[in-house]
Amino acid sequence: MRSFYSKSCGHFFHWVCFFILLEGFLSMGLPPNKAYGQLCETLRNQIEEGGIPFKKTIDGEIIRSTESLPKFYEMNAYQPVWVEQKGRRERVDEMIRALQDAEKEGLNPNDYHLTKIQEILKKGFEVTSEEDCSNHNRLLALEILLSDAFLLYGSHLLDGRVNPKAVDSQWYAEQSRSDMAPILFNAIQSNEIQKTLQDLVPGQPAYGKLKEALKRYRQIAAKGGWEAVPFVNKLQKGDSDPRVTLITQRLAAELGDVDAVPEEPGPASIIFDDKLETSVRKFQRLRGLSDDGVVGQNTLAAMNRSTQACVKRIEINMERWRWLPRDLGERYILVNTANFSADVMEKDHPVMTLRVIVGMQYRETPVFSHRISYLVLNPYWHVPKKLAVEDKLPMLKKNPYLLMKQKIRIFRNTGIEEQEIDPRVIDWSKVTKYNFRYRLRQDPGPLNALGRVKFMFPNRFNVYLHDTPGRELFDKTVRTFSSGCIRIEKALDLAAYLLKDDPNWSPESILAELDKNKEKTVKLKNPMPIHLQYWTALVDDAGEVNFRNDIYERDMNLIRAFYQEPPQTVALLKP
């Protein structure tokens, strides 16, 4: 507790607060009524007694903004901002409208005391005497609950409802964890409650599209959603089966293809025809499935995911957008590992979209942001120690010649100088991961695992973007084949884009350098921000809602945390 809260300074503080309040009353055209002054004094006492962090319940409601609430009232000299002598101020209605809009952001208005606030307002109040305790207490509760509602809701819009590091061990993106107290103070001074809160919402178009998708799927759910289709065997074009009608209705409910639904049931309605195959292929593409037009187990499982499950997926992916910084850069690269894609963005709009290959389930690509500072043409591949002992050592034990055919050289670690050794002279049967003292390096060339170029943003995970000789893997629907790095399609096109501001590196000069087959490091004049992210729900350029498989099983932990009671918000900027 700060020193001016001590008893020795109590009288001095009382008089300072009195004159500040008196000035406030006169500026609002209010008389310095004794009963109202008592309300102000009680507010100060309540805040001080709650301590920092604030540890009191108000009318049965837990206060979540445990640090920013007392800080705000200290900034505002403990003057109430939501109530006055005759009851509530006009901004209360504005705040209620803002809280009601929380649902549009995929958040629960009742996390922010909305029901309790409305209950207090229905009872009505006006402080007319010192003995009018019930009205006095309702005013006090309304004041504190509304402030906590603004602070908590604002922090959820700005930084997210859930701390990502608490639910995902591979989520390393930095969050600002902004101080909401000055934001509320400025909102009161400018008398712009709703606008201030709306300004905290992510401004990227992708978030706005998910917001519209959320509205649409809630409407579908309100109409009854869709009926589950039982699995007996796979269905494809030409089949006759009663389930065809159910599948047609199911797809029409989500895709809006009402022309595919027969007006009256009959023999024709159970035939798997061309129209239904087209709808099935579209559905499969929107779910990230192989679009073969066949309704098998995977396709049917995706069809039978309920509307409420779709709503939750959209809500948690809106949450993931709130975890990101509001300014991603004028130009940046956005990698969505769950979608196996990378978008080169200019002013939040894609100018290049590339397919990518990401980490396997047991070697996940992490989530973080950085800046590509240089690229390497004709790179050597320095095999990481983990891969050397887990992947390459078993190959050496079977046949030392295998690595030689791949142009991988072996060096013995001997201090400053490294000595290349012939793999045939080593008894690999005696080498284990515990006594492995070698370094493996693959020469540049067509066999190199990094392809012709790598894009570097040095980080603790040793993860980067790179080309690959295995381009046939880009045709796979699920592309989890790497050890954590991101293999990128059309790597030379990306290299030309990143170097377009450098007059020394035209597309022709890049190809000429590659023909030399020697490693060359090129520093970028303008480092490019890159964001490795994970979204399992997204809206494409055509406005279609896409869902992706949760390849790293990250959704369930987030869903459990997202629908729990909100945590206390204790993070503040450093003084």
Residues annotated as part of the active site: 466, 485
Name the strands in the sheet holding 408-413, side by side, starting at the edge strand that comes first in the sequence: 381-382, 438-442, 408-413, 418-421
Q: Tokens 């995911």, residue? A: 305
Which stretches of 457-572 are assigned E, i.e. beta strand? 465-466, 480-482, 486-488, 520-533, 537-539, 545-547
CB-CB contact of 366 with 457 (8 Å): no
Centre a 10 Å sphere on the Cβ of residue 522 and count the other Cβ atoms it contains: 18
The CA distance from 35 to 132, in Å, is 9
Q: For residue 22, give both structure tokens.
A: 């008196």
Query: Letter for the amino acid at 122?
Result: K
The CA distance from 224 to 237, in Å, is 28
The CA distance from 146 to 38, in Å, is 20
CB-CB contact of 314 with 254 (8 Å): no
Number of H helices, E strands in the chain: 20, 19
**Could you tell me the sign of the dihedral formed by the alpha carbons of 106, 110, 113, 114, in that order?**
positive
CB-CB contact of 552 with 170 (8 Å): yes
The CA distance from 558 to 366, in Å, is 16
Sequence-distant (≥ 6) Cβ neighbours of residue 4 within 8 angstroms: 12, 13
